[in-house]
């Protein structure tokens, strides 16, 4: 039986990126996905400037549906919209974007098996035996990019408890582009307070608004009802089909490598706990995993867990410290919502600075270091503003 250098399970952003870099470095590469591409993927479709900076190639203009220059933040009765002079993100439909990445990997020599589900992994001293619903495969190394419920995740890490992952539910509200422009144009709408450790959103796309909610699973008892209420409060009407997905909270996935297997993207728990963004870290972790696989195959014992832990070190050095602070931000802001989230929805400077995070110009740590010392003056400005509004009303 032919033994591949690397088999990647999953063809989302992390898997396709890993396949691209493995094949580009000359490795005999196969990536496998249970779906036929292009396929639907429930997601807001926000692609940050940071995420795009991790790609080796520009994203096709036909894939990018809208450029985002502003954000409208709401919390309770408070709301603010802040415009930036530069693009902070792009909006894509995941079926198109993911297929775009798959095509780039194929172009550099990666082989692709679609509509084929991996059902079992067996690791030995010689290789990884991979069983799908159609055939058997072998690989020297496996990159697991099939999410936090996939077979590769189960082969490496413990099952996540409900408090260790968030649930997102999303739908599409079909609309004419003129209606979308009138409602939101080049902005995204974020509603804090809709869920615990999460938010509701409205993102404009071509021909539809992407509407969703996400929150920590053990606090989100009826996400479909929450989304239904959220849709009605926005004044949207129609028949909707809801799609749910799971996002691990950063730090929940304790083990990311074992002999011959590396987890990437959502499977590794690489999700921003405050923004909910996973694409940037999916792309970067896939790229790092490919590099580690290349190095591992240059050594006789490179397949062992002790060598593959190099992946953990590189991820921490390049981006995990930022994810740690995203978790700190999420816990602080949702633990004291009337302080932090109220400021996010009322203070222009606070939002203006916050938007530098998805733009890739500021880290979560940098934002907290900027924000916390300014809390007293921000609160004072907010209080005076409210007092003046009350006076006007009187």
**Mean pLDDT score, 338-361:** 89
Q: Collapse the DSSP code of 130 into the 3-class scheme (helix H, G, I; strand E, B; otherwise coil) and give the result.
A: strand
Per-residue model confidence (pLDDT) at position 213: 96
Q: What's the chain's average pLDDT?
A: 93
Q: Alpha-carbon torsion 47, 291, 11, 281, what sign?
A: negative
Q: Is the pLDDT of residue 167 over 90?
A: yes
Decide if pLDDT at 286 tops 90: yes
Model pLDDT, residue 392: 54
Q: For residue range 211-260, list pLDDT tens digits in order.
A: 999 999 988 888 999 999 999 999 898 889 999 999 898 888 999 999 99
Domains belonging to the chain, first-starting first, are 3-68+90-161+252-327 (3.50.50.60), 162-248 (3.30.9.10), 330-393 (no CATH)
DSSP state of 209: E
pLDDT given for residue 385 in this prediction: 66
- How many CA within 13 A on the CB side of residue 205? 25
Start-to-end CA distance of the chain, whole Å, equals 83
Which residues, in sequence order, are CB contacts of 89 under 8 Å at separation 6+? 46, 47, 48, 49, 67, 68, 188, 358, 359
């Amino acid at each position: 039986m032919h033994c591949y250098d690397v088999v990647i399970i999953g063809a989302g952003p992390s898997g396709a990126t890993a396949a691209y870099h493995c094949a580009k470095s000359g490795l005999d590469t196969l990536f496998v996905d249970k779906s036929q591409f292009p396929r639907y993927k429930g997601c807001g479709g926000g692609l940050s400037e940071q995420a795009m900076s991790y790609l080796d190639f520009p994203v096709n203009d036909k894939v990018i549906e809208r450029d985002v220059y502003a954000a409208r933040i709401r919390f309770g009765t408070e709301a603010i919209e802040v415009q930036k002079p530069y693009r902070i993100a792009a909006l894509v439909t995941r079926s198109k974007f993911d297929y775009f990445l798959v095509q780039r990997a194929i172009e550099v020599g990666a082989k692709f098996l679609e509509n084929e589900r991996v059902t079992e992994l067996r690791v030995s001293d010689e290789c990884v035996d991979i069983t799908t619903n159609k055939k058997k495969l072998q690989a020297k190394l496996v990159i697991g990019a099939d999410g936090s419920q996939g077979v590769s995740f189960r082969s490496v890490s413990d099952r996540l408890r409900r408090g260790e992952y968030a649930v997102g539910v999303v739908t599409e509200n079909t609309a004419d582009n003129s209606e979308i422009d009138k409602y939101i144009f080049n902005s995204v709408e974020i509603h804090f307070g809709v869920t615990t450790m999460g938010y509701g959103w409205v993102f404009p796309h071509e021909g539809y608004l992407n509407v969703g909610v996400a929150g920590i699973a053990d606090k989100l008892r009826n996400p479909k009802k929450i989304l239904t209420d959220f849709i009605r409060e926005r004044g949207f009407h129609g028949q909707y089909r809801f799609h749910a997905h799971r996002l691990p909270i950063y730090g929940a996935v304790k083990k990311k490598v074992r002999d011959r297997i590396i987890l990437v993207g959502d499977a590794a728990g690489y999700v921003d706990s405050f923004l909910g963004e996973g694409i940037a870290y999916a792309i970067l972790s896939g790229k790092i995993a490919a590099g580690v696989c290349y190095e591992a195959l240059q050594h006789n014992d490179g397949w062992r867990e002790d060598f593959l832990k190099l992946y953990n070190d590189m991820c921490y050095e390049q981006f995990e410290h930022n994810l740690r602070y995203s978790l700190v931000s999420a816990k602080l802001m949702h633990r004291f919502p009337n302080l932090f989230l109220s400021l996010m929805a009322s203070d222009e400077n606070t939002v203006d600075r916050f938007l530098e995070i998805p733009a890739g110009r500021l880290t979560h740590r940098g934002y907290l270091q900027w924000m916390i010392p300014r809390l007293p003056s921000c609160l004072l400005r907010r209080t005076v503003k409210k007092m003046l509004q009350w006076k006007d009303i009187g």
